[in-house]
Amino acid sequence: MPKTTIRETLLRQRRRLPADQCMSLSLEIQSYLMALDLFREADTLALYSPVQNEVYTEALFAEARQQKKRIVYPRVCGDDLEFVEVVSRSDLVHGYFGVLEPGEGPRVDVGEIDLLVVPGVAFDRVGHRLGYGKGFYDRALRAAPQSCRLAGLCFDFQWMTALPYDAHDVRMHAVVTEAGCRYCEQSRQ
């Protein structure tokens, strides 16, 4: 099945999720991630601001803040993402396509990020990710060092056996859904 068909089908399904169900499932997913060594051992954590019924990340922010982790969010800069440290969620302003992103703050090199939490339209068992098609995260993930752990968040209906992919695609180490954590079958290349 072509990427565009998969993307359209899953986005339509995700947009239909009732707000209360999206919130309750998001809390389960975040709880699973917070219980993992990936989260506990990370000193610097990159989160995203959810759009279009993506898995929420507010509980991750609150727990990371409580554990005194450094938290960064992506900000669109031309065709790329740059990561900026955020102390409070009030530091986020409407940016590219209306997505909340850091207004001001110190930029953080992607090489300093221990855990990069990644949104996606779909993920598969070997860690491939299908995004919105603009390539922002793809470029950022390619710049991440091998030491940076990558965790995709999605609802269980977005978990696929296999997705179409390109040779340059970067795979996740783990994908977390309301069904739990799935470590990807093959490690990142």
Per the domain annotation, does 83 fall within a domain?
no
Pairing assessment for the beta strands 122-124 and 129-130 based on DSSP bridges = antiparallel
Q: How many domains does the chain have?
A: 1
Alpha-carbon distance of 168 to 137, in angstroms, equals 13
The pLDDT tens digits for 129-153 are: 999 888 899 999 999 998 999 999 9
In a domain, 189, yes or no: no
Within-domain flag for 79 = no
* Per-residue tokens: 126: 């070997």
Distances, alpha carbon 46 to alpha carbons 20, 123, 148, in Å: 25, 19, 10
Quick check: is 82 in a domain? no
Q: How far is CA 106 from CA 25, 71, 110, 132, 136, in A?
A: 32, 11, 13, 27, 20
Pick out the residues of the known binding site for substrate: 54
Give the residue numbers of the binding site.
Answer: 3-7, 54, 129-137
**For the chain, percent of residues with pLDDT exceeding 90:** 87
Q: Could you tell me which residues are annotated as the binding site for ATP?
A: 3-7, 129-137
Residue 85 lies in a domain: no
Domain annotation covers residue 87 = no
Q: Say if 147 falls within a structural domain.
A: yes
Residue 78 resides in a domain: no
The model's pTM is: 0.93
What CATH number does residue 7 fall under?
Answer: 3.40.50.10420
pLDDT at 185 (0 to 100):
64
Instruction: Show the domain range for 12.
Output: 3-73+110-183
Average pLDDT by consecutive 10-residue portion of the chain (189 residues)?
A: 93 97 98 97 97 96 98 95 96 92 93 97 95 89 93 97 90 96 69
Token pair of 31, please? 């709880």
How far apart CA 88 and CA 163 sit, in angstroms, is: 36
| Closest to 130 in 3D by CA, of 96, 161, 164 | 164
